[in-house]
Amino acid sequence: MTVFKKMRIYIKDLKNHIGKEIKIAGWVDTVRHQGKMAFFDFRDTTGKIQGVVFGKPEVLEKTKEMRDEFVVEVKGIVNERPEKARTDVQNGDIELEIVGIEILNKAETPVFDIKDDTRKINEETRLKYRYLDLRTDRMQKNIRNRYKVIKFIRDFMDKENFVEVETPMLTKSTPEGARDYLVPARLYPGKFFALPQSPQQYKQLLIASGIEKYFQIARCMRDEDLRGDRQPEFTQLDIEMAFVSEEDVLQLNEKLLIDIIKKLYPEKRIQQVPFPRITYKEAMEKYGNDRPDIRENKEDSNLLVFCWVVDFPFFEKTAKSDDPQAKGEWTFTHNPFSLSKPEDIEKLKNKQDIGSITASQYDIVLNGSEIGGGSIRAHDPEILRSILNILGHSEEKIEENFGHMLKALGSGTPPHGGIAWGMDRLLTMLEGEESVREVIAFPKTREARDPMMNAPAEVEKKQLDELGIEIKKNK
């Protein structure tokens, strides 16, 4: 196989090479044979260009076997199109006069048309052949825009003097809410790591470590029952700040969200700035939920309405009082590491009038969907111990599960607070999609499976034996 030695030119840059012979490389997007001529659309990561073969019988003969999705290297002359043949699409005023072509890899006929909107294709099929689905214009746009948003966040946080710190993926299972994914520890039979539901404890430990402004684009895993549009693994923007009030956290995040929309989604309009603030009590009484949709016009796809929901109750009963199995214990509404409003701190310390304690917790809501939440944290170890007591943890369990946190907080940890955004959910809304699976490169199905990799899957008995694990079949 002959590979042309000229340096490859990206398709987006062809307009700078009119009249010159160049080389491109990419995929055959479409093929149209017309006797002594053949027309092609080629694409690479930067765009598309039309190419034509004429007056070159040897090149025309080689193209006869080519079909959509063949990977090729093309040598040609960049010509201006006649005025009447120009279009408004990218490179609509130029075309490539093909003088040589090499097939780098052939392609089987795709199982679905990637030039069409694949949302109408069965999801199982789309995810089984995700590498084809990702070639579509819409999915390319979504994945590239995801990168742009994440890069914008990183640049913004850098200017605000934050430090991005990676936290461990193998950690300890602690009772914080959802079910953990467990990882058996081969060197310690009978013991397990847990994959992180969030970096909650680590980010507070970083504050204790003197990292005053932390953030991370964090991967999180939760083994939850199948519910709606959730994924077993997802991405958070995780933020924690020392020496801050609730107001400081809200203002920073509001500024970041506004800047993202202005710079990356200028076609969209934010209904109200600054964002409205609604108490939990008001939201429940007026809207019947804690994620109110307050859009003026819900038919306007480019209208974005953010609002903060604040002043959440700290605790709620775990079961209704008329339930014969209920013991009347309390559970947290957000997470156990939060702090109450200043006026309720004494109630928290003394474990009094628990149902009336208001947490310094806040959610950010976009068009009726919660896209993030956070709180000011309990930085006093004795207050955290009181919270865990209220939640029903024995002193023994507190030391076993949270002893490291209590010691860290008692080592000289400043007041701090933070927030976490659900990046997948936010990007879904910004891209105008209906499912988070449209903005994730390799998502799982609604049933938490990966059809492409055929996961989860059984493993060999040898691997189980090494881990000291025996599988018991359900009857």
Burial bucket for residue 349 (CB in 10 Å: 0-12, 13-18, 19+)? middle
User: Are residues 250 and 199 located together in one domain of the fold?
Assistant: yes
Residue at 26 is within a domain: yes
Q: How far apart are CA 234 and CA 236, in angstroms?
A: 7
* pLDDT score of 224: 86
Q: Which pLDDT band, with edges at 50, 70 and 90, does 329 fall under?
A: confident
* pLDDT score of 322: 43
Q: Tell me if residue 412 falls in helix, strand or coil.
A: coil
Contact criterion met (CB below 8 Å) for 198 and 238: yes
**Rg of the chain on CA atoms, in Å:** 28
Mean pLDDT is lowest, of 19-23, 246-250, 333-337, for 333-337
Residue at 452 is within a domain: no
User: Are residues 152 and 299 located together in one domain of the fold?
Assistant: yes
> How much is the average pLDDT of 110-139?
96
User: Are residues 100 and 135 located together in one domain of the fold?
Assistant: no
Q: Which pLDDT band, with edges at 50, 70 and 90, does 321 fall under?
A: very low
User: Are residues 167 and 211 located together in one domain of the fold?
Assistant: yes
> How much is the average pLDDT of 119-131?
96
100 against 474, higher pLDDT: 100
User: Are residues 18 and 144 located together in one domain of the fold?
Assistant: no
Which H or E element spans position 61?
Answer: helix 57-63
Q: Which residues contact 153 (CB under 8 A, 6 or more apart)?
A: 215, 217, 237, 256, 260
Q: Which residues contact 451 (CB under 8 A, 6 or more apart)?
A: 124, 127, 128, 445
Distance of CA 416 to the CA centre of its chain: 25
- What percent of the chain is predicted at pLDDT more than 70? 96
User: Are residues 277 and 382 located together in one domain of the fold?
Assistant: yes
Read off φ and ψ for residue 170, nearest 5 degrees.
Answer: -105, 115
User: Are residues 350 and 207 located together in one domain of the fold?
Assistant: yes
User: Are residues 298 and 215 located together in one domain of the fold?
Assistant: yes
pLDDT tens, residue by residue, 406-417: 999 999 999 999
Contact criterion met (CB below 8 Å) for 14 and 94: yes
> How much is the average pLDDT of 418-446?
96
Strands of 301-449 (E only): list them: 303-304, 306-310, 315-317, 330-332, 361-366, 369-376, 416-422
Per the structure, how many domains does the chain have? 2
* pLDDT score of 178: 82
Residue at 446 is within a domain: no
Distance of CA 304 to the CA centre of its chain: 19
Residue at 198 is within a domain: yes
* pLDDT score of 231: 94
What is the pTM for the complete model shown?
0.93
User: Are residues 260 and 403 located together in one domain of the fold?
Assistant: yes
* pLDDT score of 475: 62
Residue at 458 is within a domain: no
pLDDT tens, residue by residue, 187-202: 999 999 999 999 999 9
Smallest CA-to-CA distance from 379 within 167, 251, 203 is with 203
Residue at a domain's end among 438, 454, 470: 438
Distance of CA 199 to the CA centre of its chain: 15
Read off φ and ψ for residue 430, nearest 5 degrees.
Answer: -65, -35
Residue at a domain's end among 74, 105, 136: 105
CATH number at residue 210: 3.30.930.10
- What percent of the chain is predicted at pLDDT more than 90? 88
Contact criterion met (CB below 8 Å) for 31 and 40: yes
User: Are residues 94 and 145 located together in one domain of the fold?
Assistant: no
User: Are residues 234 and 341 located together in one domain of the fold?
Assistant: yes
> How much is the average pLDDT of 121-128?
96
Range of the domain at 292: 128-438
Q: How far apart are CA 469 and CA 460, in angstroms?
A: 11
* pLDDT score of 228: 64
* pLDDT score of 2: 58
* pLDDT score of 3: 57
Q: How far apart are CA 90 and CA 10, in angstroms?
A: 13
| Mean pLDDT, all residues of the chain | 93
Residue at a domain's end among 64, 90, 105: 105
Q: Which pLDDT band, with edges at 50, 70 and 90, does 300 fall under?
A: very high
Q: Does the pLDDT at position 324 exceed 60?
A: no
Note if the bond before 274 is cis, omega within 30 degrees.
yes
| Nearest-5° Cα angle at 237, 414 to 246 | 40
Residue at 363 is within a domain: yes
Helices 395-409 and 200-208: crossing angle in degrees, nearest 10, is 40
* pLDDT score of 6: 76
Q: Which pLDDT band, with edges at 50, 70 and 90, does 60 fall under?
A: very high
Helices 246-264 and 423-430: crossing angle in degrees, nearest 10, is 40
Q: Does the pLDDT at position 323 exceed 50?
A: no
* pLDDT score of 327: 47
> How much is the average pLDDT of 208-235?
92
pLDDT tens, residue by residue, 259-289: 999 999 999 999 999 999 999 999 999 999 9
230 against 268, higher pLDDT: 268
User: What is the torsion angle, in degrees rounded to the nearest 10, for the CA atoms of residue 342, residue 344, residue 347 and residue 350?
Assistant: -10
